[in-house]
Amino acid sequence: MNQHAPNDQKFRTSLLEENDGPGHNPTDNRTMGDIIATRFSRRGFLKGSLAVSAIAATVSPIAIILADDARAAAASAFNFDEVEAGIDDKHHVAAGYDADVLLRWGDPIFADAPEFDPLSQSAEAQARQFGYNNDYVGYVPLDGSAEHGLLVVNHEYTNEHLMFPGIVKIVEGKIEVAPADQKRVDIEMAAHGGSIVEIRKEGGKWQVVRDGKLNRRITSTTEMQLTGPAAGHDRLKTNADATGTKVFGTVNNCAGGVTPWGTYIMAEENFHGYFGGELPADHPEAANYKRLGVPEGTYEWLKFYDRFDVAKEPNEPNRFGWIVEVDVQDPNSLPKKRTALGRFKHEGAESIVAPDGRVVFYLGDDERFDYVYKFVTKGKFNPNDRSANLDLLDEGTLYVAKFAEDGSFEWLPLVQGEGPLTADNGFVSQADVVIETRRAADLLGATKMDRPEDIQPNAVNGKVYVMLTNNSKRKADQVDAANPRAENAFGHIIELVEDGGDFTATKGKWEVLLKCGDPSIAEVGASFSTSTTQNGWFGMPDNCAVDSAGRLWVATDGNSPKATGRTDGLWAVDTEGEARATSKLFFRVPVGAEMCGPLFAPDDQTAFVAVQHPGDGGEDWESFGRPSYYEDLSTRWPDFKPDMPVRPAVVAITRQGGGKIGV
Ligand code: FEO
Ligand code: CA
Ligand code: CA
DSSP 66-113: HHT-HHHHHT-S--SPPPPP---SS-EE-TTEEEEEEEETT-B-STTP
Average pLDDT on 534-540 reads 98
pLDDT reading at 213 higher than 50? yes
- What is the C-alpha separation between 101 and 598, in angstroms, rounded? 14
Cis bond before residue 295 (omega within 30° of 0): yes
* 562, 607 Cβ separation under 8 angstroms: no
Burial class (CB in 10 A: 0-12, 13-18, 19+), 609: buried
Residues 6+ apart with CB under 8 A from 319: 226, 236, 238, 247, 337
- What is the C-alpha separation between 587 and 605, in angstroms, rounded? 15
pLDDT reading at 160 higher than 90? yes
Residues 6+ apart with CB under 8 A from 475: 25, 486, 487
- Please report the pLDDT score of residue 621 as a whole number: 56
Residues 6+ apart with CB under 8 A from 536: 82, 85, 528, 571, 582, 583, 584, 585
Q: Which of 161, 140, 143, 160 is nearest to 152 (CA)?
A: 140
Percent of the chain with pLDDT over 70: 88
- Please report the pLDDT score of residue 21 as a whole number: 42
Ligand 1 atom with the smallest distance to the CA of 345 is 2
* Confidence band for 5, pLDDT divided at 50, 70 and 90: very low
* Confidence band for 170, pLDDT divided at 50, 70 and 90: confident
Instruction: Identify the weakest region by mean pLDDT among 62-66, 381-385, 425-429, 603-607.
Output: 62-66
Instruction: Identify the weakest region by mean pLDDT among 166-170, 314-318, 492-496.
Output: 166-170
Average pLDDT on 578-597 reads 97
- What is the C-alpha separation between 442 and 134, in angstroms, rounded? 32
Instruction: Identify the weakest region by mean pLDDT among 88-97, 374-383, 557-566, 581-590.
Output: 557-566
Give phi and psi for 68, each to the nearest 5: -95, 10
Ligand nearest to the CA of 452: 1
SS (H, E, C) 237-261: CCCCCCCCCEEECCCCEEEEEECCC
Convert the pLDDT of each residue in 547-574 to its tens digit: 999 999 999 999 988 889 999 999 999 9
SS (H, E, C) 335-346: CEEEHHHCCCCE
Average pLDDT on 182-202 reads 98
Strand ranges (E), 262-417: 264-268, 323-326, 336-338, 350-353, 358-364, 368-370, 372-380, 396-403, 408-413
pLDDT reading at 458 higher than 60? yes
Q: What average pLDDT does the structure give for the chain?
A: 90
Average pLDDT on 39-56 reads 32
- Please report the pLDDT score of residue 171 as a whole number: 87
What's the 495 CA to ligand 2 centre distance in angstroms? 18
Q: Which of 205, 182, 208, 184 is nearest to 195 (CA)?
A: 208
Is the Cβ atom of 453 under 6 angstroms away from ligand 1?
yes
What's the 637 CA to ligand 1 centre distance in angstroms? 22
- Please report the pLDDT score of residue 195 as a whole number: 99
Q: Which of 490, 618, 491, 647 is nearest to 15 (CA)?
A: 618
- Please report the pLDDT score of residue 606 as a whole number: 98
- What residues pair up with 463 in beta bridges, in sequence order? 497
pLDDT reading at 626 higher than 80? no
Is the Cβ atom of 17 under 6 angstroms away from ligand 1?
yes
What's the 331 CA to ligand 2 centre distance in angstroms? 26
What's the 595 CA to ligand 3 centre distance in angstroms? 9
Is the Cβ atom of 254 under 6 angstroms away from ligand 1?
yes
* Confidence band for 175, pLDDT divided at 50, 70 and 90: confident
Average pLDDT on 574-585 reads 97
Ligand nearest to the CA of 559: 3
Convert the pLDDT of each residue in 630-649 to its tens digit: 999 999 999 999 999 999 99
Nearest CA, atom 1, ligand 1: 254
Q: C-alpha distances in angstroms, 461 versus 48, 260, 497?
A: 40, 18, 9
What's the 134 CA to ligand 3 centre distance in angstroms? 12
- Please report the pLDDT score of residue 654 as a whole number: 98
Can you give the C-alpha Rg of the chain in angstroms?
23
- Please report the pLDDT score of residue 617 as a whole number: 78
Element of type H or E holding 153: strand 148-155
* Confidence band for 64, pLDDT divided at 50, 70 and 90: very low
* Confidence band for 470, pLDDT divided at 50, 70 and 90: very high
Of residues 62 and 157, the one with the higher pLDDT is 157
Give phi and psi for 39, each to the nearest 5: -60, -45
- Please report the pLDDT score of residue 73 as a whole number: 55
- Report the half-sphere exposure of 594 (CA within 13 A, side-chain side): 28
- Please report the pLDDT score of residue 561 as a whole number: 84
Is the Cβ atom of 188 under 6 angstroms away from ligand 1?
no
pLDDT reading at 53 higher than 80? no
What's the 445 CA to ligand 1 centre distance in angstroms? 24
Average pLDDT on 443-468 reads 98
- What is the C-alpha separation between 345 and 91, in angstroms, rounded? 30
Neighbours of 539 (CB within 10 A): 25
* Confidence band for 19, pLDDT divided at 50, 70 and 90: very low
- What is the C-alpha separation between 397 and 470, in angstroms, rounded? 28
Ligand 1 atom with the smallest distance to the CA of 252 is 1
- Please report the pLDDT score of residue 137 as a whole number: 98
Convert the pLDDT of each residue in 350-372 to its tens digit: 999 999 999 999 999 999 999 99
Ligand 1 atom with the smallest distance to the CA of 135 is 1
Q: What is the 3-state composition of the chain as percent helix, strand, coil, each rounded to the nearest 5?
A: 20, 30, 50
- Please report the pLDDT score of residue 22 as a whole number: 40
* Confidence band for 12, pLDDT divided at 50, 70 and 90: low
pLDDT reading at 520 higher than 90? yes
